[in-house]
Structure 1
Amino acid sequence: MTSCLLIDENGRSRRHLEQMLAGLGVRTFLTNRADEAVRFCNDNSPEVVMVSAAAGGGMTRDVVKRLRLSGRGRPPVVFLYAETPDTAMFGQTILEGAAEVLMLPFDRDLLHFKLRQAGLAV
């Protein structure tokens, strides 16, 4: 079963995303702290990390940077945006290591497509 670390503080959107991921056969683990996220990735090697941009802008960059430096096969990171980022922010997200970017709201089909683009066999 594919595993996903989800970093999202919004309970409502998190529950909805968890349900969609479960429907795709993805097991979800949750955190809202960068140090826990990196520790989880080092200990459990999830196939993907999904980060809500609303989880604290600095934290999203910190997680990606720390995963990159950990030296242990970094999983693809998918950033979730509730608002359309400006061009500079979108570009920065990609430069920081995002494999994919998803704009809320999205449906199960788009989520499935983006996870496959990120290299997951779901």
Structure 2
Amino acid sequence: MKSCLVVDDSRVIRMVARKILEELNFEVIEAEDGKVALDACNKSLPDAVLLDWNMPVMDGLEFLVALRQLPGNENVQVIFCTTENDLEHIQKAISAGANEYIMKPFDSEIIQSKFTQVGLL
């Protein structure tokens, strides 16, 4: 079973993402900020990361930069999922190593489409 780390400071967003991803047969791990997510990745890299931008402690971009330094990181598909929808944010995310970008709010169809695009489904 593939794994997905859902990184978002909103418990509601994590819960919605978990439900969608479990229906797509993913094992879901949750983290409320980039630091907790990075700690989880240091233990075991997931197949995918669904990543928020704006979070306390360590934001999504800082987490992504740190993740891309870890051995084996090239196999992790990172999909930003955020309200930051201007071109500058999208370019920063892609430059830092994001594979895809989703705007909030999202639904099952959007998640399924993006995960298919990056080869996870």
Q: Same fold (TM over 0.5)?
A: yes
Contact 2:53/2:61 (<8 A) preserved: no
Aligned to 2:64: 64
Aligned to 1:79: 80
Percent sequence identity is 26
Question: For the structure 1 residues 115 and 21, does the alpha-carbon distance in structure 2 shift closer, same or farther, using more than 3 Å as the test?
Answer: same
Aligned to 1:36: 36
- Secondary structure of the 1:19 match is helix
CA distance in 1, matches of 2:79, 2:8: 12
CA distance in 1, matches of 2:118, 2:94: 12
Contact 1:8/1:55 (<8 A) preserved: yes
Question: For the structure 1 residues 36 and 56, does the alpha-carbon distance in structure 2 shift closer, same or farther, using more than 3 Å as the test?
Answer: closer
Kindly indicate whether residue 49 of structure 2 is the aligned counterpart of residue 49 of structure 1.
yes
CA distance in 2, matches of 1:26, 1:106: 17
Relative to the length of structure 2, the TM-score reads 0.86
Deviation, 1:57, is: 9.6
CA distance in 2, matches of 1:44, 1:97: 19
The one-character-per-residue Cα deviations of 1:39-88 (angstroms, maximum 9, x if unpaired) are: 322322210011112325962122111111112234111101135x2211
- Secondary structure of the 2:14 match is helix
CA distance in 2, matches of 1:86, 1:76: 22
Q: What RMSD in Å do the two structures reach over aligned CA positions?
A: 1.9
Kindly indicate whether residue 29 of structure 2 is the aligned counterpart of residue 8 of structure 1.
no
Contact 1:53/1:80 (<8 A) preserved: yes
Contact 2:34/2:57 (<8 A) preserved: no
Aligned residues: 120
Relative to the length of structure 1, the TM-score reads 0.86
- Secondary structure of the 1:98 match is coil
